[in-house]
Amino acid sequence: MTNSKWKISFSELDSILKKLQVLLLDEISNNKKIIDELKTTYNIDFNDNLVQKITNIIKKTVEDIKKDLNFFYESDPAASSIEEIYWSYPGFFALLIYRISHELANQKIKIIPRYLSEYAHSKTGIDINPNAIIGCPCFIDHGTGIVIGETAILGNNVKIYQGVTLGAKSLSRGNLLKGVKRHPTIGNNVTIYANATILGGDTIIGDNSTIGANVFLTSSVSNNSLIVHNENNIDLTKK
Amino acid sequence: MTNSKWKISFSELDSILKKLQVLLLDEISNNKKIIDELKTTYNIDFNDNLVQKITNIIKKTVEDIKKDLNFFYESDPAASSIEEIYWSYPGFFALLIYRISHELANQKIKIIPRYLSEYAHSKTGIDINPNAIIGCPCFIDHGTGIVIGETAILGNNVKIYQGVTLGAKSLSRGNLLKGVKRHPTIGNNVTIYANATILGGDTIIGDNSTIGANVFLTSSVSNNSLIVHNENNIDLTKK
Amino acid sequence: MTNSKWKISFSELDSILKKLQVLLLDEISNNKKIIDELKTTYNIDFNDNLVQKITNIIKKTVEDIKKDLNFFYESDPAASSIEEIYWSYPGFFALLIYRISHELANQKIKIIPRYLSEYAHSKTGIDINPNAIIGCPCFIDHGTGIVIGETAILGNNVKIYQGVTLGAKSLSRGNLLKGVKRHPTIGNNVTIYANATILGGDTIIGDNSTIGANVFLTSSVSNNSLIVHNENNIDLTKK
């Protein structure tokens, strides 16, 4: 398959996603101890119910996934083809698993969404809670160390680089905070560069804003903001 | 198993830990090249001696592991049950492997503790040297990018988030520093937020202190300190 | 094998690298779906051509890999032996895979180099683009979260710690930037500590320089520079 062929038609994606589905199920099935546990605990007939559910969910998410793929290709000068993104980009893999696990979580399926997200986390270093809400398309580059918390909300066309945390401001009250919105809201067309940390359930990043690398932010910024690290806080000396 | 059942009794943990032991050994055994290497090099009869050793160590560490599990559940509002933590939290997995590999290291077993810790590192992005000393309970959330160096010492009830480094101040003298304390000491009830970097063998973080996200620290702080990043060092402009 | 034996003679490395080759091929072959895809798409007869190519490349890179191994041992006080580095250090594994995938990329082989680098990325959290140019020897410690971009150039004797990004200054123009040098140039004998971020294709770090932890840098510095984070930008209060 050439790149241009991929550009002309996305129709092969459906058959590839079917392969992914098989791959995903293989990956899960291989971990027989967990499957047995889930079967005993939840009476999930893994080979029927869940396969059907995942098939339906993949059908539901396929349009979003196609948009994500295109957005990755447009956003990354290092990508030589869409198939390279599909087969080798951890950010795309983590986002794909998120879109599936988010739908599973919406259907009130327990543990499996988190198991899938931690599977993706272990493969990619990208930790996206299935309950987070991520608009479409989204672009995640490199990705190692990214944390997107349970109650985070992201708009469309958001770009996120490695090491970014969208986290909670304080966890001092621990599990009393279950269900409370603790993670930030990110507008449309926002770019967040490497290792930026944005915390808090009331923190809102306005549309079209850019957050620079290593920035630490715990309060809201309006639309069209550019937040960059002041370079005055480093010392240069001779050895 | 319901969450409440887990709360009432921890007795199932022992059988689950036996399953973990099997899982661990399966994982190692599958890597036949390494096993053969270890057998030839160290005369370890993998199927007898080491199984027995690991069984004994798991028996020894099980009480600590139960306390860790409870501390995770209390500390994380996103955790819906203890079993979710057990099956899917990379921080818990890394800590579990640390507790086992630390005991193996204490028993002067070579390479295997580091092999186990790098196995956990590859699964979780959390790099805990088996010789580090970590009190109980401990809570590690998300965890990707955490580095806890060989001579670090941590008290009880410590909470650590993703990207935290407890490292050496300088490695300019390289392997002349073998055995020297090069990594910090962390007191009891300390919380260290995402991407904080704490360096140096003389650096002591006092009890009950909190280190904010992205803080870079190379000197000691007294008990009850709160160290937070000054937000003045970022520039906000309009695009 | 004792450590001293390894020190006296590196001759065993060749047989170990042959084992690595087998291991690598096993790892790739196991992923039959990808192999089938590659075979259909590129007419690569995986069991002949590629094996021969990888054998030749391993022969070509073996001297560099030996130098890297020695440099790791000299640089890390926590390493008890060269074999410990060989079997368990993710930084060494990522560098080894980089040296192989870089040669494959030089030979204009498509996708496989990136597949290998993302395989190493998923194992180690270290993301080195196969097209980056890395001198020899190089030392990568811990490594989780490291990103070395497509057009980065590194000199000899460079040491890099976890979370370091050698990245692009801006990706606003996306895939119009294909082929343009977007990532920094690092001189000889440079050390870059944890979580430092260095961006831009025109950014040159002079020989013998040291970049401190968490430093954010988007402009060049001359030879023998020491760049450290100013600790004045943190606030210390009592709780």
Span of A18-32, B123-137, B208-222, C206-220 with lowest mean pLDDT = A18-32
Residues of C in contact with B118 (CB under 8 A): 88-90
Residues of C in contact with B206 (CB under 8 A): none
**C117: chain A residues, CB-CB within 8 Å:** 88
Interchain contact, C235 vs B230, CB within 8 Å: yes
For residue A166, give the amino acid letter: L
- Which among B115, B176, B225 is the nearest to C236, CB-wise? B225
A193-217 confidence digits (pLDDT tens):
999 999 999 999 999 999 988 888 9
Mean pLDDT, chain C, integer: 78
* Alpha carbon of B137: minimum distance to chain C alpha carbons (Å): 23
**Residue of C100, C175, C185, C106 whose CA lies nearest to C148:** C185
Q: Could you tell me the domains of chain C?
A: 11-128 (1.10.3130.10), 145-239 (2.160.10.10)
Q: Is C233 on the interface with A (CB under 8 A)?
A: yes
Express each pLDDT in A145-174 by its tens digit: 999 999 999 999 999 999 999 998 765 544
- Whether A21 contacts chain C with CB within 8 A: no
Contact between residue C80 and residue C3 where contact means Cβ atoms under 8 Å apart = yes
Interface of C with A in 93-152 (CB under 8 A): 110-111, 114-115, 117-118, 121-122, 125-127, 129, 144-147, 149-150
As a whole number of angstroms, the distance between CA C105 and CA C109 comes to 5
Q: How do C234-238 and B225-229 pair as beta strands? A: antiparallel
CA distance B130 to B148: 9
Strand order in the sheet with B197-199: B127-128, B147-148, B165-167, B197-199, B216-217
Element of type H or E holding C222: none
Tell me the pLDDT of chain B (239 aa) as tens digits: 223 323 223 344 444 444 555 555 555 555 555 556 555 654 455 555 666 666 677 677 878 888 998 999 999 887 877 777 877 789 998 998 899 889 888 887 766 788 778 888 988 999 999 999 999 999 999 999 999 999 999 999 999 999 999 998 765 544 456 678 999 999 999 999 999 999 999 999 999 999 988 888 989 999 999 998 766 666 777 77
Nearest Cα of chain A lies from the Cα of C166 at a distance, in angstroms, of 10
Task: Compare all CA atoms of chain A with the CA of C220 and give the residue at the minimum distance.
Answer: A236
Out of B171, B219, B227, name the one closest to residue C75 (CB): B171
Comparing alpha-carbon positions, the chain A residue that sits nearest to B2 is A41
Mutation target to probe the B interface, by most B beta carbons within 10 A, among C140, C144, C218 is: C144
Residue type, B108: K
Which of A118, A163, A175 has the CB atom closest to B88's CB atom?
A118
Interchain proximity C225–A213, CB inside 8 Å:
no
Contacts with A121 from chain B: Cβ below 8 Å: 90, 124, 144
| Rg (chain C; Cα; Å) | 19
CA-closest candidate to residue C92, choices C66, C112, C114, C60: C66
Would you state the pLDDT for residue A2? Answer: 29
Shortest CB distance from C125 goes to which of A75, A87, A125?
Answer: A125
Residue of A nearest to C115 (CA): A88
Pick from B127, B146, B177: CB nearest C77? B177
> What sign has the CA pseudo-torsion A32, A36, A37, A39?
positive
pLDDT at residue A27 greater than cutoff 80: no
Strands across the sheet with B153-154, in order? Answer: B133-134, B153-154, B185-186, B204-205
Ramachandran sector of residue B224 (left: φ over 0; alpha: ψ -120 to 50; beta: rest): left
The verdict on a CB contact (< 8 Å) between B195 and A199 is no
Are C114 and C130 contacting, i.e. CB atoms less than 8 angstroms apart? yes
**Min Cα–Cα distance to chain B from C42, Å:** 31
Q: Which two tokens stand for residue B197?
A: 């970097």
pLDDT confidence of residue B4: 30
Which residue in the set C80, C162, C239 is minimally distant from B224, CB to CB?
Answer: C239
> Least CB-CB distance to C125: which of A144, A161, A229?
A144
Residue of C nearest to A229 (CA): C216
Q: Which of the given ranges, A101-110, A183-192, C11-20, has the highest pLDDT on average?
A: A183-192
- Which chain C residues are within 8 Å of A76, Cβ to Cβ? 171, 174-175
Distance, in Å, from the CA atom of C149 to the CA atom of C217, rounded to the nearest integer, reads 15
Integer CA distances (angstroms), A125 to A11, A150, C35, C57, in order = 30, 17, 25, 29
The stretches of chain C forming alpha helices (DSSP H) are 3-8, 12-30, 32-42, 51-75, 82-88, 90-106, 112-124
A175 and B73: CB-CB below 8 Å? yes
Q: What is the pLDDT of residue A20?
A: 52
Say whether pLDDT at A43 is over 60: no
DSSP three-state, residue B211: strand
- Residue B213 sits at the chain A interface (C-beta within 8 Å): yes
Query: Helix axis angle, C112-124 relative to C90-106, nearest 10°?
Result: 170
Structural element, H or E, at residue B8: helix B3-8
